[in-house]
């Protein structure tokens, strides 16, 4: 049913990475790499390795339905996969398929190959998002708007500051990819219980050679019973999507008709309603939020897999096959929609300025109270301005006029000074400095996107 939604719940590229066909291809790739590595070390005949590799190259022709049917019986796809490889490799090579390996070795290492491509896709989208947000933060560095707390006007900020707050955590998420790769992109090869006893004293040699064949790192110990790297990967996906959801959630609120300060990129028919011709709904933001909730729901499943029993767990490890592919497909949706938002949003700065005046100057109450506090002390100044705010709200008058008519205020602040205090641009604090610091951090670690070869 989810396919009816096209790429809304996951990009086509990421769905391809975690498709059944790609899964079979990566598992066959691991088996071929193992045979080549062992042939290089003189453990299996080179002719057998060549035949196994040739059979693995035909993985796209394997009967998926037949593999699935046999997997239901066995519990895993490796046994039917190796049977098919053996059949295609021929009787002389058949005995050397899967030599010294166990099912989990191939499943785990195959999944790592898929995750390598998945991380490349996510990183490319995130770095593109960051580049777009960095440009917007610089462009809108001084454009004043209402800052909101509890969904109410609070104090003036700049839109550049708001964008910088969105961008700051995303910069750090992008910087984490290399560290994640170092811990996740490792070969798993341990045999039945991790000791590679069937290979005698050649086990470490084969592990290193297999890793070289696949372009993966070599762990100090087999990690078939240590799922911490996948758990870290899952929590990273959850946290990164959470930061994107913050961005998207703010866009939803800024698109409200009564606010109308920021808008998603629009195309004819996008975000339309089946009954209301005027509607332009925040579709991209909604799918960032929906996909993020899906990712967050799956994170606990991966964390729970860490508590595996002994040398191969009875259930926890297997749940990763459910969670990780779904998690990355959903994360790709959040990352891709966020990129589109960052690159294509439209910003109405005149509307931002008009909205600052919506409360007749109440948004500048703290600025006045702070200025009065220099003469009256904080408590009395706060009390005076609070009373004036109540009058301004009740009588629907500008706060500056109410304050100007109050003798206890006028003794300390004349009308000229009050007018200065009611300029929102004069009370944005460190807004510009925050933008500058975040952009400096972006310049430090915001490298261009890596090329994606999936």
Residues labelled as active-site residues: 150, 273
Contact between 446 and 171 (Cβ < 8 Å): yes
Rounded Cα distance between 85 and 54, Å, is 9
The residue assigned the tokens 């969670």 is 323
The count of other CB atoms within 10 Å of the CB of residue 406 is 15
Q: Which of 394, 406, 404, 441 is nearest to 164 (CA)?
A: 441
DSSP 193-253: TSS-GGGGGGHHHHHHHHHHHHT-B--SS--TT--HHHHHHHHHHHHHHHHHHHHHHHHHH
Distance separating alpha carbons of residues 306 and 313, to the nearest angstrom? 9
Are the CB atoms for 362 and 389 separated by under 8 Å? yes
Q: Which two tokens stand for residue 146?
A: 């209402």
Nearest CA to 109 out of 230, 198, 278, 248 is that of: 230
The answer to whether the beta carbons of residues 119 and 17 sit under 8 Å apart is no
Q: CA-CA distances (angstroms) from residue 447 to 24, 123, 185?
A: 34, 11, 21
Q: How far apart are CA 227 and CA 262, in angstroms?
A: 42
Tokens of 408: 């206890």
Q: Which class for 369: exposed (0-12), middle (13-18), buried (19 or more C-beta within 10 A)? A: buried
């Amino acid at each position: 049913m989810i396919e009816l939604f096209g790429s809304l719940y996951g990009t086509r590229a990421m769905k391809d990475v975690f498709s059944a066909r790609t899964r079979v291809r990566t598992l066959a790739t691991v088996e071929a790499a193992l045979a080549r590595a062992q042939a290089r070390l003189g453990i299996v005949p080179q002719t057998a390795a060549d035949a196994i590799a040739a059979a693995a190259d035909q993985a796209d022709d394997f009967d998926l339905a037949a593999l699935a049917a046999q997997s239901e019986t066995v519990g895993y796809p490796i046994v039917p996969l190796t049977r098919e490889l053996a059949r295609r490799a021929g009787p002389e090579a058949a005995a050397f398929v899967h030599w010294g390996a166990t099912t989990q070795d191939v499943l785990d290492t195959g999944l790592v190959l898929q995750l390598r491509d998945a991380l490349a896709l996510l990183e490319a989208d995130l770095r593109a998002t960051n580049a777009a947000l960095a440009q917007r933060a610089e462009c809108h560095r001084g454009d004043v708007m209402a800052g909101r707390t509890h969904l109410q006007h609070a104090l003036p900020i700049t839109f550049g500051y708001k964008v910088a707050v969105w961008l700051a955590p995303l910069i750090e998420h992008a910087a984490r990819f290399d560290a994640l790769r170092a811990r996740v992109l490792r070969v798993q090869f341990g045999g039945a219980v991790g000791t590679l006893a069937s290979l005698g004293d050649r086990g470490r040699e084969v592990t290193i050679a297999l890793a070289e064949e696949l372009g993966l790192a070599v762990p100090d110990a087999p990690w078939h019973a240590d799922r911490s790297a996948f758990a870290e990967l899952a929590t990273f996906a959850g946290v990164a999507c959470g930061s994107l959801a913050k961005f998207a959630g703010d866009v939803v609120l800024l698109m409200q008709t009564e606010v109308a300060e920021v808008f998603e990129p629009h195309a004819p028919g996008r975000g339309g309603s089946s009954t209301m011709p005027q509607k332009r709904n925040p579709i991209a933001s909604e799918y960032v939020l929906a996909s993020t909730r899906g990712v967050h729901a799956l994170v606990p499943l991966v964390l729970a897999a860490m508590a595996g029993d002994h040398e191969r767990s009875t259930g926890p490890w297997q749940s990763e096959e459910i969670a990780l592919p779904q998690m990355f497909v959903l994360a790709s949706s959040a990352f891709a929609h966020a990129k589109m938002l960052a690159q294509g949003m439209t910003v109405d700065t005149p509307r931002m300025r008009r909205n600052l005046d919506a409360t007749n100057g109440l948004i500048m109450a703290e600025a006045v109270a702070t200025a009065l506090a220099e003469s009256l002390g904080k408590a009395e100044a706060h009390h005076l301005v609070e009373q004036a705010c109540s009058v301004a709200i009740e009588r629907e008058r500008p706060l500056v006029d109410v304050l100007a008519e109050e003798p206890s205020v006028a003794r300390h602040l004349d009308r000229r000074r009050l007018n200065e205090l009611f300029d929102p641009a004069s009370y944005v604090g460190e807004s510009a400095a925050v933008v500058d610091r975040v952009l400096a951090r972006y310049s430090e670690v915001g490298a261009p996107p890596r090329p994606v070869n999936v």
